[in-house]
Amino acid sequence: MNPTDRPDAWLARFAKLAVFGAFVVIFIGGLTTTTGAGMAFPDWPLSHGSLNPPGWWDDAMQRREHLHRYSAEAVAMIVGVLCAWVWGANWAVPISVVVSLACAAGAKVAGQPGSVVALVGVLSASLTFAVIILLRTRRADHARPAGVRWLAFLAFLGVLAQAVLGGLRVIKDPAGVLGGDADTATTFRIIHGCFAQLELCLLVAIAAMLSPVWPRIAANPQMRLVRRIGWIATTVVFLQLIVGATMRHLGAGLAIPTFPRAPGGGWMPQVHNKFIDLNFTHTRFGAALAAIFILALAMRAAGNAAGDVRLVRPAALLLALAAAQVTMGIYIIWNVRPPILTTLHVVNGAAVLAVIVLLTVRAGRAAACAGADPAEPRPL
């Protein structure tokens, strides 16, 4: 076995913790959106000018939004530690924290407002961390493959971008501290929601590549087709999530309040506008297209896996999650969008995408191993 293929059990567990944390943030963020609590605080990165505003736990709207911010900050720290661990940059996080505190203290002494002090602290820590990681690229003795290292760095950049998008979603809202128009605010809300799915995909791929399972995946040339279908399915499901996020943020979730037929008893809506057409695209056309590709991926993976449970189990899980997603979607329409079920629908959609990515990267591993020269180290 190539030394870079040897798994680190604790690092693998920590990568799974990052994936779990991402799901927690998606759930809390989804519940915040579903209940309309996204503008409980009009400022960012502070909340009412404070890291811990008084009374936030007693107000349901503030509690959801503030928990969303706290959980996002926690996951950002986890991703930073994960990136440093993968790169072998043990001092990246503590050095970044020290620089952040020093810069924030300097901004405070200079008389800057609290929001500026907080931004200076975050930006200085992020820039210091990035510089330390990039300096590590000059070393040739890395313990882990380049692919997983750069994915970890992308995940770090991604969590920063997600934080900025979340901040712009707040401060550029018409009710935010900077003010703005409704269309701009809606655009940032949609991008923020969709970018979370991309970050989740990165973390899932990293966790898969760091797992002890990774070097034990058997070579299988038939997985080349599975890999291609998997990336197509990933694209289709991600587009379906974009349409769903747009529908949610435009308030079009019940633009067609019946299922499976449209109002009036037909299969197609009799009235057309952007809300009804968006709803139809997500709940009918997009759902059917995603189901086709999910079924094709799962059946092809299971059929060509040669009994490899590392491929069969994700395929079976994917079918179960897809069935649950359809069922929840129908019940949401029939029961007029209950908040918890609607939020679970969002989280389960993220889980469907995550399992597709997991199955696809494992299929890619099996295909790559089958195409490698046995005398050469096994590819990433």
| DSSP annotation string for 113-124 | -HHHHHHHHHHH
Residues 271, 261: Cα–Cα separation, whole Å: 13
- Of 323, 331, 325, 322, nearest in space to 259 by CA: 331
Token pair 């898969």 in the structure block, residue = 208
The stretches of the chain forming alpha helices (DSSP H) are 9-34, 60-87, 92-109, 114-136, 146-171, 182-210, 223-249, 274-280, 287-304, 309-334, 339-370
Q: Is residue 121 part of a domain?
A: no
Q: What is the pLDDT of residue 378?
A: 45
Q: Count Cβ atoms below 10 Å from residue 61 Cβ, excluding itself.
A: 16
HSE-CB of 34 using CA atoms within 13 angstroms? 21
On whether the CB atoms of residues 189 and 33 are closer than 8 A, the answer is yes
Instruction: Tell me if the bond preceding 42 is cis, omega within 30° of 0.
Output: no
Q: Is residue 359 part of a domain?
A: yes
Residues 347, 345: Cα–Cα separation, whole Å: 6
56 lies in which domain range?
A: 1-88+142-216
- Cα distances from 280 to residues 191, 277, 344, in angstroms, run 21, 5, 21
Q: Is 272 exposed, middle or buried (0-12, 13-18, 19+ CB in 10 A)?
A: exposed
Question: In sequence order, what DSSP letters do the residues of 136-199 get, joined into one string?
Answer: HTT-S--SS-HHHHHHHHHHHHHHHHHHHHHHHHHHTSTTSSS---HHHHHHHHHHHHHHHHHH
Question: In terms of domains, do 189 and 222 share one?
Answer: no
Token pair 């295909």 in the structure block, residue = 367
pLDDT in tens, the chain (380 residues): 454 455 689 999 999 999 999 999 999 999 999 999 999 999 999 999 999 999 999 999 999 999 999 999 999 999 999 999 999 999 999 999 999 999 999 999 999 999 999 999 999 999 999 999 999 988 878 889 999 999 999 999 999 999 999 999 999 999 999 988 889 989 999 999 999 999 999 999 999 999 999 999 989 999 999 999 999 999 999 999 999 999 999 999 999 999 999 998 899 999 999 999 999 999 999 999 999 999 999 999 999 998 899 999 999 999 999 999 999 999 999 999 999 999 999 999 999 999 999 999 999 999 999 875 443 344 44
Q: Is residue 31 part of a domain?
A: yes
Domain count, the chain: 2
Q: Is residue 99 part of a domain?
A: no
- Of 344, 342, 300, 338, nearest in space to 321 by CA: 344
Question: In terms of domains, do 161 and 254 share one?
Answer: no
Question: In terms of domains, do 39 and 28 share one?
Answer: yes
Q: Is residue 73 part of a domain?
A: yes
Phi-psi region at 251: left, alpha or beta (left = phi > 0; alpha = psi -120 to 50): left
Q: Count Cβ atoms below 10 Å from residue 58 Cβ, excluding itself.
A: 8
Question: In terms of domains, do 198 and 236 share one?
Answer: no
Question: In terms of domains, do 284 and 350 share one?
Answer: yes
Q: What is the pLDDT of residue 139?
A: 83
Q: Is residue 106 part of a domain?
A: no
Token pair 């060509």 in the structure block, residue = 304
Q: Is residue 233 part of a domain?
A: yes
Question: In terms of domains, do 51 and 175 share one?
Answer: yes
Show which of 172, 200, 216 is a domain's final residue: 216
Q: Give the N- to C-terminal CA distance of the chain in Å, as an integer.
A: 12
Question: In terms of domains, do 211 and 234 share one?
Answer: no
Show which of 187, 216, 245 is a domain's final residue: 216
- ∠ CA 66-72-74, rounded to 5°: 105
Show which of 216, 235, 256 is a domain's final residue: 216
Q: pTM above the 0.75 mark?
A: yes
Q: Is residue 335 part of a domain?
A: yes
Question: In terms of domains, do 327 and 223 share one?
Answer: yes
HSE-CB of 120 using CA atoms within 13 angstroms? 19
Question: In terms of domains, do 209 and 288 share one?
Answer: no
Question: In terms of domains, do 347 and 310 share one?
Answer: yes
Question: In terms of domains, do 279 and 268 share one?
Answer: yes
Rounded to the nearest 10 degrees, the angle between the axes of helix 182-210 and helix 60-87 is 40
List 47's β-bridge partners, or say none.
50
Q: What is the pLDDT of residue 13?
A: 96
Q: Which residues of 173-197 are buried (b: 16+ CB within 10 A; e: fewer)?
A: beebeeeeeeeebbbbbbbbbbbbb
Question: In terms of domains, do 252 and 177 share one?
Answer: no
